[in-house]
């Protein structure tokens, strides 16, 4: 069964069955020291999402890797995200982690993620402290993605990055404490019919406005939001 694409995630109704309001993570869990410790000795935890909630043929999935790049700023950790080029055939104009398909020449998942971040936004491997890997995530578009979490050299600035314009239109930072607060997570519902059968898929969104007084909004949703929700579950686990 092929699911139709979600063309307007903002227009999807809120999923009213989502009544849980998990607590925001305390500041002491959102430091570089705390993240290093968490990946060195992770507690038992379960990811909330293993994929896009649509049937996929495991044999046909293509391996990919993304970097979840965190930067230590004076006000706290931020997450570096990209806005994909509008010229791309798939997922154009969407917010995403830097990353892509794993090539035969890549020695590992980590090597693939570091190569992609260098090619897409110009961050060299030596500027990344890799903390660890997250559980794989399966997409309805045929990829199995391994998220790699890393700390980026705080000396890097957005203006110092070299973007690959064919793939990346923009880079921006979001405070990690915003993303790790479920009060800023919205679960929405997408439904479609195949014959007489109605199908549903719920997905998370995390809309972020750099300046609440201005209309500019970065709409984080889909696989990117799901992997961030899994990161929240890891960091919240006791």
The pLDDT, as a whole number, for residue 151 is 98
Using pLDDT thresholds of 50, 70 and 90, give the confidence band for residue 196. confident
Which two tokens mark 92?
A: 């154009």
**Is pLDDT above 70 for 89?**
no
Buried b or exposed e, range 210-229, using 16+ CB within 10 angstroms:
eeeeeeeeebbbbbbbbbbb
Place of tokens 């909004």: 217
Distance of CA 63 to the CA centre of its chain: 16
Per-residue pLDDT tens for 140-167? 888 999 999 999 999 999 999 999 999 9
CA-to-CA dists, residue 180 to 95, 102, 149, 167, 198, angstroms: 17, 28, 15, 27, 33
Candidate from 85-99, 114-128, 164-178, 210-224 with smallest mean pLDDT:
85-99
**Is pLDDT above 70 for 18?**
no
Domains (ranges, CATH) in the chain? 25-181+223-236 (3.90.79.10)
The pLDDT, as a whole number, for residue 213 is 85
Which two tokens mark 41?
A: 């000795």
Q: What is the CA radius of gyration of the chain?
A: 17
Per-residue pLDDT tens for 19-29? 667 899 999 99
Number of other residues whose CB lies within 10 A of the CB of residue 72: 17
Which two tokens mark 230?
A: 């899994």
Q: Which residues contact 125 (CB under 8 A, 6 or more apart)?
A: 114, 115, 118
**Is pLDDT above 70 for 72?**
yes
Alpha-carbon gap, residue 144 to 65, rounded angstroms: 8
**Is pLDDT above 80 for 4?**
no
More confident residue, 181 or 89: 181
**Is pLDDT above 90 for 17?**
no
The pLDDT, as a whole number, for residue 219 is 96
Q: Which of 66-80, 89-103, 212-226 is modeled with the greatest confidence?
A: 66-80
The pLDDT, as a whole number, for residue 136 is 96
The pLDDT, as a whole number, for residue 112 is 98
**Is pLDDT above 70 for 8?**
yes
Candidate from 29-33, 66-70, 87-91 with smallest mean pLDDT:
87-91
Alpha-carbon gap, residue 131 to 217, rounded angstroms: 29
CA-to-CA dists, residue 175 to 13, 61, 65, 181, 220, angstroms: 26, 32, 23, 10, 13
């Amino acid at each position: 069964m092929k699911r139709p694409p979600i063309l307007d995630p903002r227009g999807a109704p809120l999923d009213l069955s989502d009544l849980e309001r998990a607590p925001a993570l305390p500041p002491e869990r959102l430091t570089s020291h705390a993240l290093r410790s968490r990946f060195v000795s992770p507690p038992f935890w379960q990811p909330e999402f293993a994929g896009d909630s649509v049937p996929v043929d495991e044999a046909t999935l293509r391996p990919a890797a993304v970097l979840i790049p965190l930067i230590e700023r004076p006000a706290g950790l931020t997450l570096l995200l990209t806005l994909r080029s509008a010229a791309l055939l798939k997922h154009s104009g969407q917010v995403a982690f830097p990353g892509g398909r794993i090539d035969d020449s890549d020695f590992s998942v980590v090597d693939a993620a570091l190569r992609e971040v260098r090619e897409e936004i110009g961050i060299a491997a030596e500027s990344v402290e890799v903390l660890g890997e997250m559980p794989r995530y399966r997409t309805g578009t045929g990829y199995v993605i391994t998220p790699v979490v890393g700390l980026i050299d705080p000396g890097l600035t957005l203006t110092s990055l070299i973007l690959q314009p064919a793939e990346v239109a923009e880079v921006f930072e979001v405070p990690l404490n915003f993303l790790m607060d479920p009060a800023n997570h919205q679960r929405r519902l997408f439904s479609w019919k195949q014959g007489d059968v109605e199908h549903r898929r719920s997905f998370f969104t995390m809309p972020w406005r750099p300046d609440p007084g201005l209309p500019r909004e970065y709409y984080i949703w889909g696989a990117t939001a799901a992997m961030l929700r899994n990161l929240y579950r890891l960091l919240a686990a006791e």
